[in-house]
Amino acid sequence: MSSRLQAILWVRPRLRILNQLLLPHRREYVEINNSRAGHHAIASMQTRGAPAIAIVAALSLAAELCGLEFSSAATAQAHIRQQLAYLSTSRPTAVNLFDAVRRLNKVVDAAAADGADVCAAYVQAAEAMLAADIADNRAIGTHGARYIAETAGASSIKLLTHCNTGALATAGHGTALGIARTLHELNVLSHVYFTETRPYNQGARLTAFELLEEHIPSTLVCDSAVSALLQSDPGIQAIVVGADRVAANGDTANKIGTYQLAITAHHHNRLFIVAAPSTSIDLDMPSGKQIEIEQRDPSEILVQSGFTQSSVATGSLEPASVQVAPLETRAWNPSFDVTPAALISAIVTEKGVITKQPNSSEFDIKAALS
- Asked if the peptide bond before residue 326 counts as cis, ω within 30 degrees of 0, the response is no
Residues whose CB falls within 8 Å of the CB of residue 169, separated by 6 or more in sequence, listed in order:
7, 48, 49, 50, 51, 52, 163, 175, 177, 206, 242
What is the spatial distance between Cα 82 and Cα 359, in angstroms, rounded to a whole number? 47
Determine the Cα–Cα distance for residues 210 and 212; give it in Å rounded to an integer. 5
Specify the amino acid at residue 186.
L
Amino acid found at 147: Y
Residue 46 to residue 40: CA distance in whole angstroms: 8
* CA–CA distance, 197 with 167 (Å, rounded to integer): 17
Residue 314's Cβ-count burial label (10 Å; 0-12, 13-18, 19+) is exposed
Query: Which candidate in 136, 223, 244, 282 is catalytic?
Result: 244
Q: What does DSSP say about strands 29-32 and 14-18: parallel, antiparallel, or unpaired? A: antiparallel
CA-to-CA distance for 135 and 299, rounded, in angstroms?
A: 38
Q: Return the amino acid letter for 130.
A: L
DSSP string, 37-89: HHHHHHHTTSS-SHHHHHHHHHHHHHHHHTT---SSHHHHHHHHHHHHHHHTT
- For residue 81, the tally of other CB atoms under 10 A from its CB is 15
In total, the chain counts a number of residues equal to: 370
DSSP state of 167: G
Whether 244 sits among the annotated catalytic residues: the reply is yes
Active site residues: 244
